[in-house]
């Protein structure tokens, strides 16, 4: 069953602006991960945040996790045209039938215009 839901489904911004994508999930997790997929390519891991962490940074990326609300956000600061891609959150469920695998949301399609 689907675990993560990204919001918005699509986002269009100008170069230099910040982009924020949100992810909500349903069950307790070990960790939550964000991936990027360029058109016609495989997914690339961006960042992993554990259930006991609240915020994590990697370059222009900032991820927050709120386990009480079962939600996460990905912020890309000072966006570039090269950031144009689909972004997926994926959750590693702590229990239940989904253990041992990552369940992906439907993704947010980000378009950064030069």
Partner 1 sequence: DTAVSQTPKYLVTQMGNDKSIKCEQNLGHDTMYWYKQDSKKFLKIMFSYNNKELIINETVPNRFSPKSPDKAHLNLHINSLELGDSAVYFCASSTLGTGVGKLFFGSGTQLSVL
Regarding 88 and contact with partner 1 (CB under 8 A), the answer is yes
Under rule CB under 8 A, which residues in 26-55 are in contact with partner 1? 29-31, 33, 35, 37, 40-45, 48, 50
Regarding 61 and contact with partner 1 (CB under 8 A), the answer is no
Q: Which residue in 64, 11, 77, 54 sits closest to 34, CA to CA?
A: 64
Instruction: Please identify, using beta-carbon distances, which residue of 9 and 14 lies nearer to partner 1.
Output: 9
Q: Is 91 exposed, middle or buried (0-12, 13-18, 19+ CB in 10 A)?
A: buried
Per the CB < 8 A criterion, the answer to whether 89 and 46 are in contact is: no
- Residue 4 C-beta: closest distance to partner 1, Å: 10
Instruction: Please identify, using beta-carbon distances, which residue of 6 and 83 lies nearer to partner 1.
Output: 6
């Amino acid at each position: 069953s689907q675990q993560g839901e990204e919001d918005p489904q699509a986002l269009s911004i100008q170069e230099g602006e910040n982009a924020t994508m949100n992810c909500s999930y349903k069950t307790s997790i070990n960790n939550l991960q964000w991936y990027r997929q360029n058109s016609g390519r495989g997914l690339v891991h961006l960042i992993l945040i554990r259930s006991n962490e609240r915020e994590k940074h990697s370059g222009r990326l900032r991820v927050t996790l709120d386990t009480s609300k079962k939600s996460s956000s990905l912020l890309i600061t000072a966006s570039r045209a090269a950031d144009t891609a689909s972004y997926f959150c994926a959750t590693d469920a702590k229990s239940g039938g989904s253990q041992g695998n990552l369940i992906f949301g439907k993704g947010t399609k980000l378009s950064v215009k030069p």
